[in-house]
Amino acid sequence: MTQPSRYIKILDTTLRDGEQTPGVSLTLENKIEIAQQLNKLGVDVIEAGFPSSSEGERKVVKEIKKIGLTSQICALSRCTRKDIDAALDCDVDLIHIFIPTSPVQMKYAVNMTPEQVLSSATESIQYIKKCGVKCEFSPMDATRTEMPFLRQICKAAQDAGMNSLNIPDTVGCMIPRTIFELFKELKSFIKVPISVHCHNDFGLAVANSLAAVEAGADQIHVAVNGLGERAGNAALEEVVTTLHVVYDYKTNINTRLLYSTSRLVSSLSGVSVQVNKAIVGENAFAHESGIHTRGVTEQPLTFEPISPEIVGRTRKLVAGKLAGTRGIQVELNEIGIHPNETQLTEIVQRVKELGDKGKAVTDADLIAITSAVMGQVIGKEKIVDLCDMAVITGIKVIPTASVRLTIDGKEYVASETGVGPVDAVLKAIQKLTGNIEKIKLSEYRLEAITGGSNAVAEVIIKVEDEKGNIFSARATREDIVMASVEAMIDGINKCLLKNRNKGKKQ
């Protein structure tokens, strides 16, 4: 029997719990940019911050509220007058208050008795409601709270007028079955909407959030790329895609913006996304082995559960030791190279040999092998070419670079400053090429091949176009700046050439 489709609300806490990711610190401008993107994405509620934690944080929440986004703006607060007043001062739509309720946290985190916790929670809810603001109440560490006390405090919070209840699995200790049972029990006496807030300590945050939804949860707290305390929160992109595709439930999220949102948060937070992460990882829609590449080029459903476009991605066929002829042929055809059958067999053979030596086969390696096999220089067609460059660096000068490039044969000059000469020169290149296509550097790796101050350095970079297609390139030189420039220009050319070739095919 098919279940009627349900609407599940999404509260995004990237700017609050997400920022609690160790090592992450976002500026006001970063947070505003992320809030605008979350709004475009369609999240129902943005938890913008914890106003009482610092003056800066209060300013962030105020500024985000002032933009006038469609998403509701929520502020986090402890159950104290000072915290609540700081949240009220930000004029938010919703205040999310929390207080520990598990024995271990009541004793060691706040040193309060259950009676004190109970009265503090109810007084805080009543105060917020008296001020005319909506309130979501979280019994923190709910999933390690003794059930009679959890029942008691949730009922008291309901009587005090909370608008919604949130159940945090603060240390991620639930499994789908136990959280399902907990939500079933809560749904039997809580009449307001219930949210679920799962942490990923055992890698179960998404599964637990979905189990809570199966038991009746109305809203899920998530963070982009699964950012958050310790192992993080339930990942927005995984939760939403599963709700849409597997459950056939509705959310307000425009899934086509999931990948660009993930990239934005990754670049601003400095937390890279693991390559094999579901939905947004570099390999989530990449295929290498022969049987897979043949399958997906004939019929994508053979090895893809969804079309990558649904989440704003494109499919990628990768050369490697498991690669098949069909995948490599498609990859080469996409950049305008058409080897004959014998040449193709030889190219595949050499790619496999390289892979067998334990080497990751980059786009550059595939082009080099193909050039050798076809006996002609290919892939050297350039849209962008370097004419000249100069860098200045020192103790008292800001590292500055000027570059002169030709783009489609026409000359352009730009200068940029940076944290160092490499940063400055790569920014100057991107400034010029940005006029034809926004291509940004998504990864930069420097390896010394030989020792000593005249060591040969290998620079390996990845660049990314606006659709999230990633291209790798490498260059080897004694001069790190020159190696970086060569790799960058090579990566940009690959990207531009591929996109132009695609354009021609249509």
State the residues that interact with ligand KIV by CB under 6 A: 17, 98, 138, 140, 168, 170, 197, 199
Question: Is residue 17 near Zn ion by the rule CB under 5 A?
Answer: yes
Nearest to 332 by CA among 384, 373, 297, 379: 379
The Cα–Cα gap between 57 and 274 comes to 29
Shortest CB 16 distance to ligand KIV, Å: 8
Count other Cβ atoms within 10 Å, centred on residue 506: 4
Interface segment toward Zn ion; rule CB under 5 A; list 12-20, 78-86, 277-285, 479-487: 12-20
Q: Which is nearer to ligand KIV, 166 or 469 (CB)?
A: 166
Stretch that binds Zn ion, among 16-24, 157-165, 175-183, 368-376 (CB under 5 A): 16-24
Judged by beta carbon distances under 5 to 8 A according to partner kind, the member of Zn ion, ligand KIV, none in contact with residue 497 is none
Q: Which is nearer to ligand KIV, 157 or 481 (CB)?
A: 157
- Give the position of tokens 């783009």: 407
The answer to whether 169 contacts Zn ion (rule: CB under 5 A) is: no
Sign of the four-CA dihedral 275, 276, 277, 283: positive
Question: How far is 305 from 37, CA to CA, in rounded Å?
Answer: 26
Q: Whose Cβ is closer to ligand KIV: residue 98's or residue 183's?
A: 98
Residue 140 contact, options ligand KIV, Zn ion, none, Cβ 5-8 Å cut-off depending on partner type: ligand KIV
Residue holding tokens 């550097």? 441
| 277 interacts with, out of Zn ion, ligand KIV, none, CB within 5 to 8 A per kind | none
Assess contact for 317 and 297: CB atoms under 8 A: yes
Show the tokens assigned to 88: 């009220």
Distant-in-sequence, close-in-space partners of 68: CB < 8 Å, separation ≥ 6 = none
Based on the shown chain and the rule CB under 5 A, indicate whether residue 464 belongs to the binding site for Zn ion.
Answer: no
Of 233 and 433, which CB lies nearer to Zn ion in the complex structure?
233
Q: How large is the angle between the packed helices 205-214 and 176-187, nearest 10 degrees? A: 30
Measured from the CB of residue 66, what is the shortest distance to ligand KIV in angstroms? 24
Minimum CB–partner distance for residue 110 and ligand KIV (Å) = 13
The least CB distance from residue 168 to ligand KIV, in Å, is 3
From Zn ion, ligand KIV, none, which one binds at residue 98 (CB under 5 to 8 Å depending on kind)? ligand KIV
- Minimum CB–partner distance for residue 237 and Zn ion (Å): 18
Residue 391's DSSP bridge partners are 401
Helix (H, G, I), strand (E, B) or coil at 484: helix
Minimum CB separation from ligand KIV for residue 157, in Å? 13
How many positions of this chain bind Zn ion (CB under 5 A)?
Answer: 1
79 three-class SS: coil
- C-beta of residue 372 within 8 angstroms of C-beta of residue 365: no
Comparing CA positions, the residue from 177, 173, 229 lying closest to residue 202 is 173
12 binds Zn ion (CB under 5 A): no
Give whichever of 140 and 335 is closer to ligand KIV, judged by the CB atom. 140
Both tokens of 345, joined, read 């067999």
Six-digit token pair at 180? 């399902």
Which residues are CB-contacts of 229 (< 8 A; sequence separation ≥ 6)?
17, 20, 21, 199
Residue 141 binds Zn ion, judged by CB under 5 A: no
Which of ligand KIV, Zn ion, none sits in contact with 38, Cβ below 5 to 8 A by type?
A: none
Which listed option, Zn ion, ligand KIV, none, makes contact with residue 138 (CB within 5 to 8 Å by class)? ligand KIV
Which residues here bind Zn ion, judged by CB under 5 A? 17
